[in-house]
């Protein structure tokens, strides 16, 4: 949710639930609260370290709401999420208080994508992939400070599950 000072609240449900990742991306820590998003399912994406969500009437996704993001921080998220995600306004329920809150989140643009499967697990991600994802975010921030070269190649290469070759397009 945006206010007149350009502050945003964003529901995150994957790697951005991890405070260390958020601190690297925004170069500062952020307040967050636990929340539940109904009407969506969180999927694994074949070959990638991060999840996505798509609409599903009976689905529920737990995550966190990052509070007080600036316009520039929201642009960072937009760049990281890229064209595969669409930023949408959704309603979440805060876990501690049952308060409803209008926030923004990133929804997978292709809900029929054949690479979506199962349920993404945050604890498993922390154990197996956090360090690699942290490296990818550090590279993104280096690129942002010196934007020569292709961000897509530099970042996408690092968030692939197998560390495969960088995309050619």
Choice among 81, 91, 99, 156 that is catalytic: 81
Give the residue among 72, 69, 71, 96 at the shortest CA–CA distance from 11.
69
Find the DSSP H helices in the chain.
19-26, 71-81, 122-128, 130-145, 151-159
CA atoms of 97 and 15, how far apart (whole Å): 24
Give the residue among 18, 138, 7 at the shortest CA–CA distance from 73.
7
CA atoms of 92 and 125, how far apart (whole Å): 23
Which residues have CB under 8 Å from 83's CB, separation 6+? Answer: 109
Strands 100-108 and 116-117: unpaired
81 as an active site residue: the answer is: yes
What backbone phi and psi angles, to 5 degrees, belong to 112? Answer: -100, 10
How many C-beta atoms surround the C-beta of residue 128 within 10 A?
12
Q: Which residues are catalytic?
A: 81
């Amino acid at each position: 949710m945006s206010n007149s000072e350009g502050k945003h609240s964003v529901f995150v449900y994957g790697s951005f639930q991890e405070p260390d990742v958020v601190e690297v991306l925004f170069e500062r820590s952020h307040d967050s609260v636990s929340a539940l998003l109904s009407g969506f399912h969180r999927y694994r994406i074949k070959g990638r370290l991060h999840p996505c969500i798509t609409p599903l009437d009976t689905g529920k996704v737990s995550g966190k709401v990052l509070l007080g993001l600036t316009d520039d921080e929201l642009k960072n998220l937009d760049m990281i999420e890229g064209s595969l995600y669409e930023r949408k306004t959704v309603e979440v329920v805060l876990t501690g208080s049952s308060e409803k809150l209008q926030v923004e989140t990133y929804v997978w643009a292709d809900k029929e994508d054949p690479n979506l499967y199962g349920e993404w697990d945050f604890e498993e991600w922390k154990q197996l992939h956090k360090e690699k994802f942290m490296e990818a975010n550090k590279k993104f921030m280096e690129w942002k400070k010196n934007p020569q070269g292709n961000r897509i190649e530099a970042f996408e290469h690092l968030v692939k599950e197998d560390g495969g070759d960088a995309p050619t397009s």
